[in-house]
Chain A
Amino acid sequence: MCQHVESTEINCLLCKNVRLLICLCSPFRCRSLPAQRKIYMRSPPIPEMATQEVQLNETLAHLKTESETLKSKLEEERAKLHDVELHQVAEKVEGLGQFVMKTRRTLKGHGNKVLCMDWCKDKRRIVSSSQDGKVIVWDAFTTNKEHAVTMPCTWVMACAYAPSGCAVACGGLDNKCSVYPLSLDKNENLAAKKKSVAMHTNYLSACSFTNSDMQILTSSGDGTCALWDVESGQLLQSFHGHAADVLCLDLAPSETGNTFVSGGCDKKANVWDMRSGQCIQSFETHESDINSVRYYPSGDAFASGSDDATCRLYDLRADREVAIYSKESIIFGVSSVDFSLSGRLLFGGYNDYTINVWDVLKGTRVSILFGHENRVSTLRVSPDGTAFCTGSWDHTLRIWA
């Protein structure tokens, strides 16, 4: 603890009833959710300072002003090219008809909140992970469970299917990402073949295989993302730049190159070059934590979903936000976003238990889907675009088509 600790008791902003111990000069966390979120104090009282600290604050102030000046310059440069809005250019585009999307399958079997899911490239299998430590592989057509593994930790916040379909990766509060090869032999104990690949100093929030089974990209509550070699467990590249927990990441579609985008609790979405480890572009227009980022099918843009109840589209070539998907009636945060195959529809899973479907070009909502009985925590469109799957805190997954 630093010298500024005061045992002030206030209520946790998330669960409302746990008392907190606060350090006034750094972010605090709620004891009931040890690693889920970082919450910043609104305006800490300023304690008395020694001369050393006064000097430190002068340099800090100086850095801050420089930073603010550069930020305004950046905004100026970006604004110069902002000659039109996306929905204006899209006025001539034909409107979409009525949508009939319903739950076609309900996958039941998890004993607690479903936190993450991923599709296999065969467009049929799904891996999902939940708060109780279980990771299950399902056949989406028949709803049969094909494999189940129990992780040694709870809150398995990330899971991913390998491109070959022969392995799954998962991790969470154990600060690691582990890879389990999937065996066709039902009697084989999957847990025995587990391979620990990534090691972070805080919880694992997201993971994804790159184009092969050999490399994994991870993001963590420790504020970094990292690229690992699966076979050796070696760290190939690390990505520093977020000032708080990184909550999500997405790889660019393979045709467009070696980049990925990440979003975090610092409200920033960063685009990174995987080879050099450099942050190429950064976007800070959200007003709260970014829970989900997803590349546009063309690779030239990406969408983000945030606790500020909006989804936003950022164009990478114009280097700015080009659309906001929001409504006054939507006040709950977005936990996950994904595009349909053509990029015309944006699906968002919200904390108010619904899924909102947006027309990407026109900026309007085309449909709202009900069905889950608790917040939607994860949403992915299948690789061939025929359906999308949602996972929820109501312990189930639903396939919509």
Chain B
Amino acid sequence: MARDMSDKEILKMELEQLKKEVNTPRTPVSANCADTITFVEGMLPNDPLIKGVPDDKNPYKGDKGGCIIT
């Protein structure tokens, strides 16, 4: 566990990790951002928190529902 490791061991662990990470395949930000935007625009019409939900369909607006007392 990290708590029981000496500084040296933690550094060694970090170093191993960094060596692996330097070689990770990466793609340009512009391409990824464009993808993200397309994704969001596609999903936007179905997002209830943005487009809103008609009051009669929204379980949170209107009466609480209440309890039935027998």
Interface 0/1 of A178-214, CB less than 8 Å to B: 0000000000000000000000011000000000000
**A240 x B21 contact (CB < 8 A):** no
* Residue on B nearest A280 in the bound complex, by CB: B24
A319 to B32, CA, bound (A): 10
A104 to B58, CA, bound (A): 11
**A301 x B36 contact (CB < 8 A):** yes
A56 interfacial contact with B, CB 8 Å: yes
Stretch of A13-21, A86-94, A229-237 contacting B (4+ beta carbons < 8 Å) = A86-94
**A223 x B33 contact (CB < 8 A):** no
**A345 x B8 contact (CB < 8 A):** no
**Which residues 38-60 in B have Cβ within 8 Å of A in the complex?**
39-41, 43-44, 46-50, 53, 58-60
**A388 x B49 contact (CB < 8 A):** yes
Known A141-B65, A223-B2, A399-B60; contact A386-B49, beta-carbon cutoff 8 A: yes
B69 interfacial contact with A, CB 8 Å: no
* Residue on B nearest A246 in the bound complex, by CB: B2
Q: How far is the CB of B68 from chain A (nearest CB, A)?
A: 11
Q: How far is the CB of B20 from chain A (nearest CB, A)?
A: 8
**B36 x A56 contact (CB < 8 A):** no
Size of the A side of the interface (Cβ < 8 Å), in residues, is 76
Known A86-B33, A104-B60, A300-B36; contact A340-B47, beta-carbon cutoff 8 A: yes
**B64 x A143 contact (CB < 8 A):** yes
**B29 x A298 contact (CB < 8 A):** no
**A83 x B18 contact (CB < 8 A):** no
**Which residues 7-30 in B have Cβ within 8 Å of A in the complex?**
7-8, 10-15, 17-22, 24, 26-30
By a beta-carbon cutoff of 8 Å, the part of chain B in contact with chain A is: 1-3, 7-8, 10-15, 17-22, 24, 26-37, 39-41, 43-44, 46-50, 53, 58-61, 64-67
Give 5 CB contacts A-B under 8 Å. Answer: A281-B24, A315-B36, A341-B48, A361-B37, A401-B58
